[in-house]
């Protein structure tokens, strides 16, 4: 392949990036600008035009999937000799080097690579040895801190001075040192060690570094914005002699700070390599003009970025749509209904649509609506909401409380949290139950009659059955949502999660639990006579609907982090509210500017996933941790100028017409922060009822009485027609305009009196 063939299908900037083979090169590759194509053609140019030996090229990326794709394209384009090129992940490259030189660091070449479970097992042994109180500090928490330290090349000896010389830091330093000692004694490395030890090898043994400096005269690094300090050091050491380092990335898509990514690596590239050349790939081949203009106007508000502006020769396309709904239920219903309608009209398939959101917990409402409307979907980067372990655990507790003869539910939770009841004990109880025609739970209550069980085991089983009996009594008085919270508290479920997972995973799971509580509150609010059995029946109907068709024609539901690198004709970017996106943690962070800029980059990634049509949605009110919260429209929406937004009312009559394009224009903030009009939900049957003539009567703890006008999160405005005093709460009957009469529990209805 000659130079003309290599360059003929590339644009001028791409050609410049391919031709620049000597010295440091920073290729700023905007979203959809064809960066992988440039990397592959650059490798071909080095070999076919510059005469570089394939074995002198190292191309590094982050994931095995990305490495496999690049390897495939390199093989197709180059053919003979391509197998000599190292195309692999950071970890794979370091393993290959360490297998040859591990002896220099005191390991054998046959060292073991520990995964997360292996590391956790080691740390648990250390905790037991040192008698560490796991109520104050968790094994996974320490491992996460050690991983962060390794990403920054901080050794155990330097940990306390780097993190602070307080007691906690000194304790982590001690645990870190013991952990590393155990790994070394076991001839083992964890994943972070693979990179850190390679850097250490290069620093302490320059003769080894010299081998690989000569071998890899040309280095290319993809997704450079995602590198951490250790990865940067690995690359910079290899490139120090010949300086032929080509990095490709986009600082505007740096969204993995929580994994240790250091955006300064790409922002400071020109300071680290003063002789470097910068090539900007700004032509986008993916999206329409309006989508790119919206993305540009959002991301330009970040201060910590390199100037660039995406453009395209594609059509201008439809304006970006923004729709705001009274609440998150209507938001999800609108998205599901519109996708179904568009597909039924023809011209589009379900696979053409993606629904993106900030956190996993937000998927629940979309899953429910898609199931009810028979819209096939696939949850990316997670499992079905009701199939998640924490949700199944809590539902099993509810099922056992409501119906103790459910053996599947009771056997699932008999040892959750751990009570020392193993499978052998469970088998003995099941055998006793089968002989006596009993359920598992009934047999467990008779544990003292099972002769093969020891007194200590019977005591453990009794702790379980006593808890269930207590929950049965509580269920007579408590609401479903209150009972769920009681289960979480009584089982110490949160601490159990913290012992099992990293903090970010725990936060995600706790968010899912709160979303289940939200579901229970929604059920209680919408039903006149809510009950535990009724709630379980409703959940079962939703969770068990099998509407996903065979094949890949499904709507994809995923978090924004999971969507990076993907593209879709139609994208719904949901939950566009302050406190949701950007999230409350970012708004309340010690350095909110940095955190919000990371959130804005995440929004930029979401916007640039769309090829033809982008719809951004928000809810006026959203249930968070069991409480209805009102949030103004996200600043990221307000950063898009009015002439780029289609902010009219959708055909269904839902949504809000925006009054101004940005917070800088008078009245805009008030327009988007005001409660939206009620969404006329066509799927809810309405009943009319004449208002009661009851005389107004005050009730303690309520700021409204019969005859007052009140507002509800879902039903809008209505008149209170009756208030009854129940066992634990007031039952309030309200006649809502367009919805008919609803009987609600005051504690969960959150009615607000209107003047």
Q: Would you please indicate which residues are annotated as catalytic (active-site) residues?
A: 35-36, 222-223, 253, 609
Cβ partners under 8 Å of residue 667, min gap 6? 659, 660
Instruction: Please tell me what DSSP assigns to residue 471.
Output: H
Phi, psi of 234 (to 5 degrees): -55, -50
Helices (H) and strands (E) in the chain, counts: 32, 21
Report the C-alpha gap between 10 and 648 in whole angstroms: 40
The H-or-E segment that residue 571 falls in is strand 568-573
Q: Are 705 and 686 in contact (CB under 8 A)?
A: no
Cis peptide bond prior to 417, omega within 30° of 0 = yes
Q: Are 87 and 188 in contact (CB under 8 A)?
A: no
Q: How many residues are there in the chain?
A: 755
Instruction: Please tell me what DSSP assigns to residue 33.
Output: S
Cβ partners under 8 Å of residue 268, min gap 6? none
Please give the C-alpha separations between residue 608 and each of 291, 568, 636, in angstroms, as whole numbers. Answer: 7, 9, 14
Tokens 């600043």 belong to residue: 635
User: Based on the number of CB atoms within 10 Å of its own CB, is 109 exposed (0-12), middle (13-18) or buried (19 or more)?
Assistant: exposed
* Cα pseudo-dihedral 33, 38, 40, 44, rounded to 10: 160
* Cα pseudo-dihedral 37, 39, 40, 42, rounded to 10: 120
b/e burial code for range 441-452 (CB count within 10 A of at least 16 → b): bbbbbbbeebee
User: Based on the number of CB atoms within 10 Å of its own CB, is 115 exposed (0-12), middle (13-18) or buried (19 or more)?
Assistant: exposed
Report the C-alpha gap between 341 and 347 in whole angstroms: 11
DSSP codes, 207-265: HHHHHHHHH-SEEEESSGGG--HHHHHHHHHHHTTT--EEEEE-GGG---GGGT--THH
Tokens 């740390």 belong to residue: 123
**Residue 33: both structure tokens together:** 């600008």
Hey, how many other C-beta atoms are within 10 angstroms of the C-beta on 703? 11
Phi, psi of 734 (to 5 degrees): -130, 135
136: phi > 0 → left, psi -120 to 50 → alpha, else beta; which?
alpha
The H-or-E segment that residue 321 falls in is strand 320-327
Q: Are 306 and 251 in contact (CB under 8 A)?
A: yes
Tokens 């009943």 belong to residue: 687
Phi, psi of 617 (to 5 degrees): -130, 155
Tokens 């919260």 belong to residue: 629
According to DSSP, the β-strands at 709-712 and 716-725 are antiparallel
Tokens 């609440």 belong to residue: 327
**Residue 655: both structure tokens together:** 């949504």
């Amino acid at each position: 392949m000659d130079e003309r063939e290599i360059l003929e299908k590339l644009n001028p900037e791409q050609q410049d990036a391919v031709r620049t083979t000597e010295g440091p090169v920073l290729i700023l590759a905007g979203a959809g600008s064809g960066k992988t194509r440039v990397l592959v053609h650059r490798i071909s140019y080095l070999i076919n035009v510059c005469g570089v030996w394939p074995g002198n090229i190292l191309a590094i990326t982050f994931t095995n999937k990305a490495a496999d794709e690049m390897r495939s394209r390199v093989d197709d384009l180059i053919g003979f000799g391509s197998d000599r090129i190292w195309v692999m992940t950071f970890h794979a490259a370091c393993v290959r080097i360490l297998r040859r030189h591990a002896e220099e660091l005191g390991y054998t070449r046959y060292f073991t690579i520990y995964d997360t479970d292996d590391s956790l097992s080691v740390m648990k042994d250390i905790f037991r040895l040192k008698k560490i109180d796991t109520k104050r500090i968790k094994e996974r928490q320490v491992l996460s801190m050690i991983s962060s330290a390794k990403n920054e090349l901080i050794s155990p000896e330097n940990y306390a001075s780097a993190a602070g010389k307080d007691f906690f830091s000194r304790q982590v330093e001690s645990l870190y040192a013991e952990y590393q000692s155990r790994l070394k004694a076991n001839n083992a490395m964890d994943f972070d060690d693979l990179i850190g030890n390679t850097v250490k090898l290069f620093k302490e043994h320059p003769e080894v570094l010299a081998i690989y400096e000569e071998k890899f005269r040309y280095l290319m690094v993809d997704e450079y914005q995602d590198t951490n300090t250790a990865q940067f050091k690995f690359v910079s050491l290899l490139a120090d002699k010949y300086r032929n380092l080509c990095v490709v990335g986009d600082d505007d898509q740096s969204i993995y700070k929580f994994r240790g990514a250091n955006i300064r690596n790409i922002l400071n590239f020109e300071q680290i390599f003063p002789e470097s050349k910068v090539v900007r790939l700004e032509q986008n081949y993916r999206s329409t003009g309006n989508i790119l203009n919206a993305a540009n106007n959002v991301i330009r508000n970040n201060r910590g970025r390199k100037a660039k502006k995406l453009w395209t020769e594609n059509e201008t396309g439809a304006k970006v749509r923004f729709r705001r709904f009274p609440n998150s239920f209507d938001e999800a219903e609108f998205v599901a209904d519109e996708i179904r309608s568009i597909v039924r009209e023809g011209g589009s398939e379900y696979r053409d649509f993606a629904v993106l959101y900030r956190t996993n917990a937000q998927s629940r409402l979309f899953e429910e609506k898609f199931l009810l409307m028979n819209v096939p979907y696939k949850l990316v980067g997670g499992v079905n909401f009701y199939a998640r372990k924490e949700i199944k655990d809590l539902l099993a507790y509810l099922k056992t409380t409501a119906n103790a003869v459910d053996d599947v539910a009771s056997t699932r939770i008999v040892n959750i949290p751990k009570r020392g009841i193993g499978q052998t004990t469970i088998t003995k109880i099941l055998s006793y139950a089968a002989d006596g025609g009993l359920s598992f739970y009934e047999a467990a209550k008779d544990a003292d009659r099972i002769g093969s069980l020891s007194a200590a085991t019977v005591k453990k089983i009794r702790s379980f059955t006593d808890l269930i009996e207590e929950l049965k009594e509580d269920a007579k008085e408590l609401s479903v949502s209150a009972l769920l919270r009681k289960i979480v508290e009584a089982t110490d479920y949160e601490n159990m999660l913290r012992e099992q997972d990293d903090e970010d995973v725990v936060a995600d799971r706790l968010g899912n639990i709160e979303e289940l509580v939200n579901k229970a509150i929604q059920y209680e609010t919408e039903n006149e006579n809510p009950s535990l059995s009724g709630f379980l029946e409703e959940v079962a109907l939703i969770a068990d609907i099998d509407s996903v068709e065979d094949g890949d024609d499904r709507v994809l539901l995923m978090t924004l982090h999971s969507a990076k690198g993907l593209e879709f004709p139609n994208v719904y970017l949901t939950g566009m509210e302050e406190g949701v996106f950007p999230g409350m943690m970012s708004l309340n962070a010690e350095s909110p500017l940095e955190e919000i800029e990371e959130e804005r980059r995440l929004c930029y990634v979401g916007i640039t996933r769309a090829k033809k049509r982008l719809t951004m949605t928000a809810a006026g009110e959203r249930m968070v941790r069991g409480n209805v919260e009102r949030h103004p429209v996200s600043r990221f929406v307000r950063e898009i100028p009015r002439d780029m937004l289609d902010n009219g009312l959708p055909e269904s009559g839902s949504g809000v017409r925006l009054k101004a394009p940005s917070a800088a224009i008078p009245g805009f903030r008030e327009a988007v922060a005001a409660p939206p009009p009620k969404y006329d939900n066509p799927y809810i049957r309405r009943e009319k009822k004449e208002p009661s003539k009851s005389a107004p009567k005050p009730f303690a703890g309520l700021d409204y009485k019969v005859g007052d006008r009140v507002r509800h999160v879902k039903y809008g405005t209505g008149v209170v027609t009756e208030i009854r005093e129940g066992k634990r709460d007031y039952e309030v009957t309200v006649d809502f305009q367009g919805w008919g009469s609803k009987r609600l529990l005051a504690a969960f209805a959150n009615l607000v009196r209107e003047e």
